[in-house]
């Protein structure tokens, strides 16, 4: 039987493993954290209640993960809920739930509001994005929408997603992808957007997927970090060296929904070596470049040229709701966070003991001073600003708070990005790469990781079958 190793038990790795097992392979998954789900994993926010480390929802166009949820028998848990979106600017919150709300967006004059509406509609009608990627979003939006709409609407949105250092590099095809997914989640231009959320949590979806993987004979090794991948010349097999590690995920939270307890022994006993016919790597590109042995210089340069942002999240469990919005873009740069995502305005508070759960989010580059701040520093920095959003907010509302940091959370997609995307096939025989840098022009998301996991598994099977017959 063909033996395959999958590195990473996030959406892409689990999806690849699932597909390989369905096709009769023997599969071992290595995951350095003590839990599965990667960026979409959960922690225990309230007793026995899981919550994503970073807010998560689905769009109607996310068909690969919707199918998977159905396949796992969890479709009754997936709820589609009208989203409530707003923008906070000039001391006020403006509703942005339907296209008609745009007409009331007073920071723009009426002509600019209409122009913004037509521009968004025009972008949603473009079917071929290729011509858009040679222009930065900044230049394209200024040229086609004008400086004022850019300053008031687009720049805060771009800075919110890509931070001050990188937003000007992002190409226009990325904005096109974003607008298209949002339009696809509406039933008509004037209709409300619907967002999906599995009430059992994304973590439970991945735990269920692991159960299915194990039932088919798959092995899932948690808290096991791959430290070296060696391509063996003689028989084109691949050697994996891994080490049992304490959790490397940046999280002060005490409890994770981890199915196994790990005993840590001496360093030598913690190191394992194993050999496989092929390997699928789903780690960020810079991790792959560190662990692959004998890397050619040009391939290393390509892997390391991929820049990512980290996500920093402060999660508050409140007695009272902060706002009526699920998603509030903060377009006021005096406020030190860029998004307020009130999860319980998507999933009902009754699922969380009637508490209200709010994420305050930032995306930052590795040199951003925010990364040096700890949980308490962030509370001190952020909380005074919440009164701007709800004048009644008081610190007494906070019952619990959590800090989460997710590295490699957002790849930066610069101009002509499609020509820089690395192939799933690497320079090493039988070693494949499937990570978020290869998702384009759509924004990265669980759906697309499930999709590339399946795609790379199919490619591997086709190639292996060619060598066998």
Ligand X SMILES: Cc1cc2nc3c(=O)[nH]c(=O)nc-3n(C[C@H](O)[C@H](O)[C@H](O)COP(=O)(O)OP(=O)(O)OC[C@H]3O[C@@H](n4cnc5c(N)ncnc54)[C@H](O)[C@@H]3O)c2cc1C
Q: Where are the alpha helices (DSSP H) in 23-125?
A: 63-71, 110-125
Q: For residues 292-331, which are near ligand X according to CB under 6 A? A: 311
Nearer to ligand X, 357 or 406 (CB): 406
Give the separation between CA 469 and CA 467, rounded to whole angstroms.
Answer: 6
Give the separation between CA 393 and CA 356, rounded to whole angstroms.
Answer: 13
Give the separation between CA 102 and CA 65, rounded to whole angstroms.
Answer: 31
* 3-class DSSP state of 115: helix
Instruction: Tell me: does residue 204 bind ligand X (CB under 6 A).
Output: no
Instruction: Tell me: does residue 45 bind ligand X (CB under 6 A).
Output: no
Asked whether 307 and 284 are in contact (CB, 8 A), the reply is no
Residue among 173, 413, 447, 460 that touches ligand X (CB under 6 A): 447
Which residues have C-beta within 8 Å of that of residue 220, sequence separation ≥ 6? 9, 29, 31, 36, 210, 213, 214
Give the separation between CA 44 and CA 307, rounded to whole angstroms.
Answer: 31
Instruction: Tell me: does residue 54 bind ligand X (CB under 6 A).
Output: yes
Instruction: Tell me: does residue 205 bind ligand X (CB under 6 A).
Output: no
Nearer to ligand X, 145 or 177 (CB): 177
Q: For residues 222-241, which are near ligand X according to CB under 6 A? A: 225-226
Residue among 159, 223, 282, 401 that touches ligand X (CB under 6 A): 282
Stretch that binds ligand X, among 156-164, 228-236, 265-273, 280-288 (CB under 6 A): 280-288
Instruction: Tell me: does residue 345 bind ligand X (CB under 6 A).
Output: no
Residue among 18, 19, 28, 56 that touches ligand X (CB under 6 A): 56
341: tokens are 């995502």
CB of 36 to ligand X, least distance (A): 7
Using H for helix, E for strand and C for coil, what is the string for 165-184? Answer: HHHHHCEHHHHHHHHHHHHH
Residue among 406, 413, 461, 464 that touches ligand X (CB under 6 A): 406
Q: Count residues contacting ligand X (CB under 6 A)?
A: 35
Instruction: Tell me: does residue 141 bind ligand X (CB under 6 A).
Output: no
Residues 104-123 as x/- pattern, contact with ligand X by CB under 6 A: --------------------
Asked whether 68 and 198 are in contact (CB, 8 A), the reply is no
Instruction: Output DSSP code: residue 251.
Output: -
Instruction: Output DSSP code: residue 152.
Output: I
Instruction: Tell me: does residue 446 bind ligand X (CB under 6 A).
Output: yes
Instruction: Tell me: does residue 8 bind ligand X (CB under 6 A).
Output: yes
Instruction: Tell me: does residue 50 bind ligand X (CB under 6 A).
Output: no
Instruction: Output DSSP code: residue 443.
Output: P
Instruction: Tell me: does residue 441 bind ligand X (CB under 6 A).
Output: no
Go through 346-383 and write b for each residue having 16 or more CB atoms within 10 A of its CB, e for each that does not.
bbebebbeebbbbbbbbbbbeebebeebeeeebbeebb
- β-partners of residue 180 are none
Residues 206-225 as x/- pattern, contact with ligand X by CB under 6 A: -------------------x
Residues 9-28 as x/- pattern, contact with ligand X by CB under 6 A: xxxxx---------------
Can you give the binding site for ligand X, defined by CB under 6 A?
7-13, 30-33, 38-40, 54-58, 225-226, 282-283, 287, 291, 311, 406, 409, 435-436, 444-447, 449
């Amino acid at each position: 039987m063909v033996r395959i190793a999958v590195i990473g038990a996030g959406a892409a790795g689990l999806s690849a493993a699932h597909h390989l097992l369905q096709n009769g392979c023997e599969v071992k998954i290595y995951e350095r954290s003590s839990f599965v789900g990667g960026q979409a994993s959960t922690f225990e926010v309230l007793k026995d209640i899981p919550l994503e480390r970073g807010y998560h929802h689905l769009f109607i166009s996310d068909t690969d993960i919707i199918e998977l949820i159905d396949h796992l028998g969890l479709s009754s848990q997936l709820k589609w809920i009208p989203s409530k979106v707003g923008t906070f600017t000039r001391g006020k919150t403006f509703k942005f739930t339907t296209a008609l709300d745009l007409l009331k967006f007073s920071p723009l004059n009426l002509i600019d509001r209409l122009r913004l509406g037509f521009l968004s509609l025009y972008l949603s009608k473009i079917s071929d994005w290729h011509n858009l990627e040679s222009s930065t979003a900044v230049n394209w939006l200024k040229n086609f929408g004008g400086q004022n709409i850019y300053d008031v609407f687009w720049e805060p949105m771009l800075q919110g997603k890509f931070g001050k250092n990188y937003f000007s590099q992002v190409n226009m095809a990325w904005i096109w992808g974003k607008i298209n997914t949002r339009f696809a989640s509406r039933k008509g231009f004037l209709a409300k957007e619907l967002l999906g959320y599995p009430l059992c949590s994304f973590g439970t979806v991945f735990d269920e997927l692991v159960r299915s993987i194990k039932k088919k004979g798959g092995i899932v090794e948690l808290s096991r970090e791959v430290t070296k991948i060696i391509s063996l010349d003689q028989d084109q097999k691949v050697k994996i060296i891994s080490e049992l590690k304490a959790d490397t995920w940046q999280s002060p939270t005490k409890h994770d929904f981890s199915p196994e307890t790990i005993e840590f022994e001496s360093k030598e006993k913690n190191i394992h070596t194993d050999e496989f016919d092929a390997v699928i790597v789903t780690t960020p590109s810079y991790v792959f470049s560190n662990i692959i042995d004998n890397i050619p210089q040009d391939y290393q340069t390509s892997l390391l040229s991929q820049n990512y942002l980290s996500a920093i999240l402060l999660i508050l469990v409140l007695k009272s709701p902060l706002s009526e919005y699920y998603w509030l873009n903060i377009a006021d740069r005096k406020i030190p966070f860029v998004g307020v995502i009130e999860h319980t305005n998507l999933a009902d508070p009754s699922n969380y003991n009637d508490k209200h759960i709010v994420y305050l989010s930032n995306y930052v580059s590795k040199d951003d001073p925010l990364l040096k701040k700890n949980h308490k520093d962030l509370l001190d920095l952020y909380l005074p600003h919440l009164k701007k959003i709800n004048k009644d907010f008081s610190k007494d509302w906070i019952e619990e708070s959590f800090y989460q940091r997710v590295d490699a959370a957002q790849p930066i997609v610069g101009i002509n990005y499609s020509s820089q995307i690395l192939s799933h096939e690497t320079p090493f025989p039988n070693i494949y790469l499937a990570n978020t840098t290869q998702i384009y022009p759509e924004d990265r998301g669980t759906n697309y990781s499930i999709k590339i996991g399946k795609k790379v598994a199919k490619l591997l099977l086709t190639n292996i079958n060619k060598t066998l017959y």
